[in-house]
Structure 1
Amino acid sequence: MTEIKLTKETDVMLVLMYKEYLNKRNSGSSIRSSRHFGGCTDIQSRVCPNASIEKIDFACQELIRNSLVDGLNGDGVFQTGFLTDDAIIYMESRFSNNLDNVLQFLSKAAGLLVSFI
């Protein structure tokens, strides 16, 4: 895997998406359904309610360019997608597949979270 470079806001959204993925897995959801996030409006309602659709779409496009999300665009916006294997591997190595580590990161990134949650 090549070095991943993300803007801070996109990085926070990826961590929030990974947190949601871990919550789904811990609740017994399948890997396939846990990785799926729908489109911008779904991500907004489930992952980052205070973020604008424009901000979520921009972050999703950045994640697609970095092969961390795969999905479809339509009507000029991200319509549906899922975390890729590369995203899961990157996040597992970054946070040791541990929800507490994810929450610790998010508490340190509180300033950026204001616009996402």
Structure 2
Amino acid sequence: MRTLTGVSPPFEFSPLSVVSFGSTVIAEGCDAAGSVSWIHAWTVSHGVITQVREYSNTSLTVTRVGGAVAAGRSAEIKPSHCPSVWKSKFSGRAGKSVPGLVLAI
């Protein structure tokens, strides 16, 4: 809130890595001191960002959910159908434990 109101100096969003998986783009970085890490997950459709998710001081793992379900039948999703395709690198830079989330694409 202090940054949004201008009381604190602006937070720098300089991405240190950017990757894409289909319509999902992940950008990751941290502040100059390395004490705050951030991850943005953008959903892009026809060249336009349609959704933005922001994670701060959180570990994020992106997992691809595979295997189609046959019509009228349920299928068990096995771990081999959900490979991890990306994991955040900067969330531990502050030397503290952070929550972990999984983003399924």
Q: What TM-score, normalized to structure 1?
A: 0.23
- The structure where helix makes up a greater share of residues is 1
- The structure where strand makes up a greater share of residues is 2
**Which protein has greater RCO, CA pairs closer than 8 Å, 6+ apart?**
1
The structure number with the bigger radius of gyration is: 2
Q: What TM-score, normalized to structure 2?
A: 0.25
